Amino acid sequence: MTLNLNCQDNSIQAPFYKNIYITGALFFLVCTLLACQKLIELSYKTYADPNYGYTLSYPRSWELKEGGSLGTSLVLLSPDEGQLFRANGNIAIAAVGDQKLKQQVEQSIKQLKFVLREYELISKVYKPVGSIQNGAEIRARYQAAEGLRIIRTFFAMTSSYTYVLTFTASSIHEREFSKKVNRIVQSFVPGQE
């Protein structure tokens, strides 16, 4: 079988097996995309907290330190690429008290305004965080010694704990950092209650 394409007076004959080549090329493309997805998955590690039992995935190239200052459960540091400031994240966990999620978010904004120079709220959204439905994200900017930074704070409240995931990057690197942060946050699963 042939496909007949007429272009003015010239006739071009294309064998039927050309469709097989196209099908083969599409199959190869799909397989390549699936392999790339698998490589992306392999480029992430899964961390399981020994005390609270939560899990999350983070880039293999990042450094993870358990514990930290000011009561954080863990600290994540992006690769040191000779920059003055390394993008980073941390998780703090507190037992749920009398405060509702909205009260905790508002209190956090007040504290950040007090602690960070020229803190300016960009957005505040109540939405699920990872597998936790009762969540919120605040996104803000503030001035640091090396320039403008973006800080994203996620709140995930269960019946027992409030998990606060905070990520900071220089405004210049926020776009590339943001994709990784979103993936980390979406992978977050709290421990057993």
How far are the Cα atoms of 34, 50, 91, 143, 162 from residue 71, in angstroms, in the given order? Answer: 40, 15, 9, 24, 13
pLDDT tens digits for range 40-71: 445 999 999 998 999 999 999 999 998 877 77
Mean pLDDT to the nearest integer, 166-180: 90
- pLDDT category at 36 given cuts 50, 70, 90 is very low
pTM of the full structure: 0.76
Q: Where are the domains of the chain?
A: 2-40, 45-187
Which amino acid, residue 43? S
DSSP states along 110-167: HHHHHHSTT-EEEEEEE--BTTBSSEEEEEEEEEETTEEEEEEEEEEE-SSEEEEEEE
User: Which candidate, 193, 192, 174, places its Cα nearest to that of 88?
Assistant: 174
User: Which candidate, 125, 143, 145, 123, places its Cα nearest to that of 135?
Assistant: 125
Q: What are phi and psi of 113, to 5 degrees?
A: -60, -35
E strands, 8-59, in order: 10-15, 44-48, 55-59
Provide the CATH number for the domain formed by 45-187 in this structure: 3.40.1000.10
Residue with tokens 């992978």: 187
Mean pLDDT of the chain: 83
Given a cut of 50, whether residue 35 has pLDDT beyond it is no
How far are the Cα atoms of 7, 15, 154 from residue 186, in angstroms, in the given order? Answer: 53, 49, 11
- pLDDT category at 174 given cuts 50, 70, 90 is confident
Q: What are phi and psi of 52, to 5 degrees?
A: -105, -15
Mean pLDDT to the nearest integer, 12-31: 57
pLDDT top residue among 192 and 102: 102
- pLDDT category at 101 given cuts 50, 70, 90 is very high
Mean pLDDT to the nearest integer, 169-181: 89
Given a cut of 70, whether residue 38 has pLDDT beyond it is no
Residues whose CB is less than 8 angstroms from the CB of residue 112 and which lie 6 or more positions away in sequence, other chains included: 119, 140, 142, 151, 153
Put residue 117 in one of left, alpha, beta given phi > 0 → left and psi -120 to 50 → alpha.
beta
Q: Which of 21-35, 74-88, 145-159, 161-175 has the lowest mean pLDDT?
A: 21-35
- pLDDT category at 80 given cuts 50, 70, 90 is confident
